[in-house]
Amino acid sequence: MNDYHRTNLIPIFPLSMVFFPGQIKMLHIFEPRYKELLQMCIHTGSPFGIVLNRPPTRQDPSPLPHRVGVMAHIFQVARQSDDTYHIQIYGGERFQVQHFYDTRAFLQAEISSFPLAQAESEEAFSLSDIVGDMLESYLDALTEASGYDFQLPDLPETPEQLAYITASVLQINNQQKQTLLNIPTLPELFRQEIQHLSSELNLMDWINDTIAS
């Protein structure tokens, strides 16, 4: 077992996006410090953590990123001719940062696991039926409005997977997505997603009605 697994110390990649468990993303790695991070992860077989950056302010020009993030597991690496990399990552478990360290070229953090509570509760399963139906309507509306295919082959098998897929496809801003990622229980996450889905569907209905008239 490598040091990162043993001590819960992981390399951190702050980004201007919120990453969710189960999500698949392609990243373009070009900065030297993150190429160093990538080489270390490849060598040790370790994941790294993705957290949302905080914007600088006059009072704090170099703020630390958000403390709730998601483990990124690398499953494909393609080196480019300009010595940059395209990597495919898969979202693993959610974590909470206990302490950040800046002793290397890239940020590191001591973390603890932060699983969703009440994931198997009766309320979670009941709310998942509502969210599943609303998500299908939402994806239909996005597909119609954009011309791109937003459809899923199948809805996720578990309520937790459904909640995170829903969070990842919602067309909301990063701060709203981070608020969803921070939620400790699955029923509360579903309730917040129902509010977002309802607002988004009402907005798209209004836009379509306006265009039609």
pLDDT in tens, the chain (213 residues): 343 444 589 999 999 999 999 999 999 999 999 999 999 999 999 999 999 999 989 888 989 999 999 999 999 999 999 999 999 999 999 999 999 999 999 999 999 999 999 999 999 999 999 999 999 999 998 888 777 877 777 788 899 999 999 999 999 999 999 999 999 999 999 999 999 999 999 988 777 677 666
Q: Terminus-to-terminus CA distance in the chain, angstroms?
A: 64
CA 175 to chain CA centroid, nearest Å? 12
Tell me the DSSP string of 153-199: SS--SSHHHHHHHHHHHS---HHHHHHHHH--BHHHHHHHHHHHHHH
Q: What is the DSSP letter of 67?
A: S
At 114 the three-state DSSP class reads coil
For residue 7, give the nearest of 33, 44, 38, 36 by alpha carbon: 44
Q: Decide: 96 and 39 in contact? Cβ < 8 Å.
A: no
Domains and CATH numbers, the chain: 3-113 (2.30.130.40), 122-212 (1.20.58.1480)
**CA distances in angstroms from 36 to 25, 140, 200, listed in the order given:** 20, 42, 41
Q: What is the pLDDT of residue 3?
A: 39
Q: Decide: 22 and 164 in contact? Cβ < 8 Å.
A: yes
Strand partners, 78: 86
What is this structure's pTM?
0.91
Q: What is the pLDDT of residue 212?
A: 63
**CA distances in angstroms from 155 to 27, 105, 150, 162, 179, listed in the order given:** 25, 41, 12, 7, 23
- 63's tokens: 């703020």
Q: What is the pLDDT of residue 144?
A: 83
Residue 210, number of CB atoms within 10 A of its CB? 8
